[in-house]
């Protein structure tokens, strides 16, 4: 299962087993093996790797629209899996999660982000995951606490050290359509 935050256009949680309890606006996963993702937006143009990743403060009511985000809804496929639509500036994003199984029958999520841009974009970062312990197995494979992150498209990730380290994927999008694909296993 997964929880997607349509307010900030970001993946918030992954877990296995029972879905969730929703009561008066509270959301509580009922399953096991929970993986949490940090608050904040998925994409940002950092001036340097020492800059803080933006997140919503108590008085920042226009967040994340003040960073160019706009939620555009979602669509369910035949298996009732959602594709989330949103904009980051003039970039149209389709964010799709597919539950798949590996050769041993273990379930995981494949995430496909499709971008449509009217012009080549200035470089920015996608924050793919964050955690206390990050092990870099290659530029495309990372262990973040209990999560295994694999970049399956032609992109490389970098680790930004900190209290909670982050796996960032630098993106320079060409004009037109492009795709970023990831796998989350835990």
What's residue 59's pLDDT?
81
How much of the chain, in percent, has pLDDT values that exceed 70? 100
Bridge partners (DSSP) of residue 152 are none
Q: φ and ψ at 67, to 5 degrees?
A: -110, 15
What's residue 10's pLDDT?
96
Contact, 75 vs 83, CB < 8 A? yes
Segment 113-138 shows an average pLDDT of: 96
Q: In what order do the strands lie in the sheet with 165-171?
A: 43-44, 124-131, 165-171, 158-160
Q: In what order do the strands lie in the sheet with 10-16?
A: 2-5, 10-16, 32-36
The rounded distance, in Å, linking the Cα atoms of 45 and 182 is: 20
pLDDT in tens, 57-80: 888 889 999 999 999 999 999 999
- Strand 107-117 relative to strand 91-101: parallel, antiparallel, unpaired? antiparallel
Segment 118-136 shows an average pLDDT of: 96
Across the chain, what does the average pLDDT equal? 94
For the chain, give the number of residues.
186
What's residue 22's pLDDT?
84
Evaluate if residue 25 carries a pLDDT over 90.
no
Q: Rounded to two decimals, what is the model's pTM?
A: 0.92
Segment 142-159 shows an average pLDDT of: 97
Segment 9-34 shows an average pLDDT of: 89
Question: For the chain, percent helix, then strand, then coil, each to nearest 5?
Answer: 0, 55, 40
The rounded distance, in Å, linking the Cα atoms of 27 and 174 is: 38
What's residue 31's pLDDT?
87
Q: φ and ψ at 120, to 5 degrees?
A: -60, 140
pLDDT in tens, 85-98: 999 999 999 999 99
Q: φ and ψ at 66, to 5 degrees?
A: -70, -10
Cis peptide upstream of residue 105 (ω within 30 degrees of 0): no
What's residue 26's pLDDT?
81
pLDDT in tens, 46-59: 999 999 999 888 88
Segment 23-38 shows an average pLDDT of: 88
């Amino acid at each position: 299962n997964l929880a997607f935050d349509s307010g900030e256009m970001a993946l918030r949680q992954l877990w296995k087993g029972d879905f969730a309890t929703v009561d008066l606006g509270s959301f509580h996963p009922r399953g096991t093996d929970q993986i949490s993702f940090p608050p904040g937006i998925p994409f940002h143009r950092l001036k340097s790797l020492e800059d803080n990743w933006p997140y919503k403060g108590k008085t920042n009511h226009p967040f994340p629209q003040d960073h160019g985000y706009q939620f555009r809804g979602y669509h369910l496929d035949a298996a009732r899996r959602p594709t989330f639509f949103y904009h980051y500036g003039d970039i149209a994003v389709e964010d799709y999660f597919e539950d798949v199984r590996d050769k041993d029958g273990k379930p995981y999520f494949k995430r496909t982000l499709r971008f449509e841009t009217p012009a080549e974009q200035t470089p920015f970062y996608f924050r793919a995951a964050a955690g206390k312990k990050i092990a870099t197995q290659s530029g495309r494979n990372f262990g973040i606490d209990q999560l295994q992150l694999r970049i399956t498209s032609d992109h490389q990730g970098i680790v930004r050290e900190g209290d909670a380290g982050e796996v960032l994927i630098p993106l320079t999008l060409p004009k037109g359509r492009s795709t970023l694909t990831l796998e989350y296993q835990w």
